[in-house]
Amino acid sequence: MADRIFRNKKKRNKKTVLKTVKEMIKKVLPKGEYTEAIGRRKTAVARVRLYPAKKNEVIVNGKDTSEFFGTEELIKKSMEALDAVSEKYLVSAYVKGSGVNAQAEAIRLGIARVLVKLDPSSRSVLKEKGFLKRDPRSVERKKPGLKKSRKAPTWVKR
């Protein structure tokens, strides 16, 4: 009984968070034309939209990148694909799943895919830097009889 109540409470919280994120995105973003693509890494999925703008700016789940990621390294990682091309865009990304590092890499892949859609000549630059490759590594499944995917229980003689 308590477990069901707890589960429902988590669902309610998730719904309210998603609702507030959608409201924030509506307030912040322009109503103009955009190009969209999806980037993935581990279990992180990023839906990325690019709007033409005067300077490069990235908004993740309705927040600025410095507010969302916190560290300079992750901010730089998510912006790498934009820095590779000369044009300026406003990027809106909605990310869910996995950790912040995987989310930053998913955003980078999504941005690279959109840039290729907009300008096919930028493909060679992005491909050379490795931004168009989806990193296939993910967590290996747990096997029966083992503690984790490969870790066996300690061997005891008797």
DSSP 52-66: E-SS-EEEETTEEHH
Instruction: Say if residue 121's pLDDT is above 60.
Output: yes
* Its pTM surpasses 0.85: no
Q: Average of pLDDT values for 59-75?
A: 91
Query: pLDDT band at 24, cuts 50/70/90?
Result: low
Which residues are CB-contacts of 105 (< 8 A; sequence separation ≥ 6)? 39, 41, 44, 77, 78, 135
Average confidence score pLDDT of the chain: 87
Q: What is the CA radius of gyration of the chain?
A: 20
Q: Are the CB atoms for 106 and 86 separated by under 8 Å?
A: no
- Which domains are seen in the chain, by residue range? 32-129 (3.30.230.10)
Amino acid found at 57: E
